[in-house]
Amino acid sequence: MKMGIAMFAAFVALGLYFSQAAKHESPVKEAEAIPKEWYDPKPVRRIRGKLEFEGMACTTCHSEPLEGNPKDKGQFHETIKLEHAAQKRNRFCFNCHNNKNFDSFAGAGGERIAYKDVAELCSKCHGPIYRDWKAGSHGRRSGYWDLKQGKREVLQCIACHDPHSPMFKPMKPAGPPRRLHEIPHEPKGGHPDEH
């Protein structure tokens, strides 16, 4: 009989405990879902295998060195929207493109930068970001940090950024991590009462 009363009391106590826990509202806001495109390792943009415009290699039309800015000539490239750098000041095609070898980019001294090495081109102006990309804290990568365990794929800058308009739309950052347990708050006076 005493065992039955003890069991009944235990069930009542558990019921009260869980009913109070169900009513309790946490002051911690529910975490917002992070959009999949922020953590999906696939490229944001279609990666081309070479420099091309509307499916054609640049050398299909260009064989002689060019002078001036192709955007000012008003033919063929008018669909390219150049919005690069602060206040969109980088509006000269040959700041990046090689005006003598159209299947490559131009380094700071005019040297040829191959399409596959486009991050070297970006490093001309974006040194700190390039350093972070090399160290693994900027950009998308998948695979293994420890290459003894398997291969790693590191995406180039243009896998995420449109080179002619590289800025992303402003993003709202994800909220802080949720706490598993509520932290007890101090009384209004500041310090908890001494026991």
- Specify the pTM: 0.61
Q: Give me the mean pLDDT over the 63-80 stretch.
A: 73
Contacts of 148 (CB under 8 A, 6+ apart): none
pLDDT for residue 24: 57
Least confident residue range of 15-24, 101-110, 157-166: 15-24
Distance CA 130, CA 123 (A): 5
20 burial (CB, 10 Å; 0-12 / 13-18 / 19+) is exposed
What separation in angstroms does the CA of 35 have from each of 134, 170, 173?
Answer: 25, 13, 10
16 CB neighbour count, 10 Å cutoff = 10
What is the tens place of the pLDDT at every residue in 165-183? 888 777 777 777 777 666 6
pLDDT for residue 122: 92
Res. 130 pLDDT band, cuts 50 70 90: very high
pLDDT for residue 187: 62
Is residue 131 pLDDT above 90, yes or no? yes
Closest CA to 110 of 96, 93, 120: 96
65 CB neighbour count, 10 Å cutoff = 11
pLDDT for residue 170: 77
DSSP-assigned letters across all residues of 138-152: SS-EEE-SSTTT--E
What is the tens place of the pLDDT at every residue in 21-63? 555 566 666 767 777 766 676 766 666 667 777 777 887 877 7
Is residue 149 pLDDT above 90, yes or no? yes
